Chain A
Amino acid sequence: AQSVTQPDIHITVSEGASLELRCNYSYGATPYLFWYVQSPGQGLQLLLKYFSGDTLVQGIKGFEAEFKRSQSSFNLRKPSVHWSDAAEYFCAVLPEGGNKLTFGTGTQLKVEL
């Protein structure tokens, strides 16, 4: 069964600083990979996804993620964080042809002004 690890439960960064949120997955093949963001009391908004091809994926709100097969990682990055980026971020995997998204436990991002 696939699994997703987000090792950082909480991260605090200053506004304008760069951000990297870590995600590692365990799966026999290369799954589809996703990053979602969740504001308090809200549903999940898709930031970006990786299915195949270029391993550097661009998403919305200035986010990008890089797939590294050798490390089974899909880390999320943003060069300059805005206060409005404060939220919870979830990494998720979906087996190719599968129907079950498996999520990590999330990383809570706090942005200091």
Chain B
Amino acid sequence: ETGVTQSPTHLIKTRGQQVTLRCSSQSGHNTVSWYQQALGQGPQFIFQYYREEENGRGNFPPRFSGLQFPNYSSELNVNALELDDSALYLCASSKAGRGGYTFGSGTRLTVV
């Protein structure tokens, strides 16, 4: 079975720009969650998507938004980038209600 794949692996953006990160879920998984991991910290929950709808959100502002597509892949969009948005962004997929999350290798975003 394929795992979770994320693209791109690294990205450098300027403050104020917008960015889109992509995630392909593991085969058989229908739920995608996004996490932000700042340097030296544990991952923080951004939001989850299930059946193409947002299904729970962490303490992140509305400029963090997402999409889930019919094939269960997902995008994370961040508008008006700030320096503090620099982090590793992790995508995790799972089967709804089963509790087991498979993580991708992440996208390292640097905002300058």
Contacts and interface: CB of A to CB of B under 8 A. Distances in A.
Interface stretch (A59-67, A69-77, A78-86, A103-111): A103-111
Contacts of B31: 99
Chain A, interface residues (CB within 8 Å), range: 20 to 34
Contact of B43 (A41, A42, A44, A51): A44
B100 A49 contact: yes
B99 A94 contact: yes
Contacts of B50: 99
Contacts of A97: 97
Interface in A84-107: 90, 92, 94, 97, 99-106
B45 A102 contact: yes
B105 A101 contact: no
Nearest to B57: A100
Nearest to B3: A43
Secondary structure at chain A's binding surface: helix, strand, loop or mixed?
Answer: strand
Nearest to B94: A99
A42 B55 contact: no
Interface string B95-112: 001011111111010000
A103 B101 CA distance: 13
Contacts of A94: 99
A46 interface: yes
Contact of B106 (A42, A46, A51, A103): A42
A45 B33 contact: no
B81 to A, nearest CB: 21
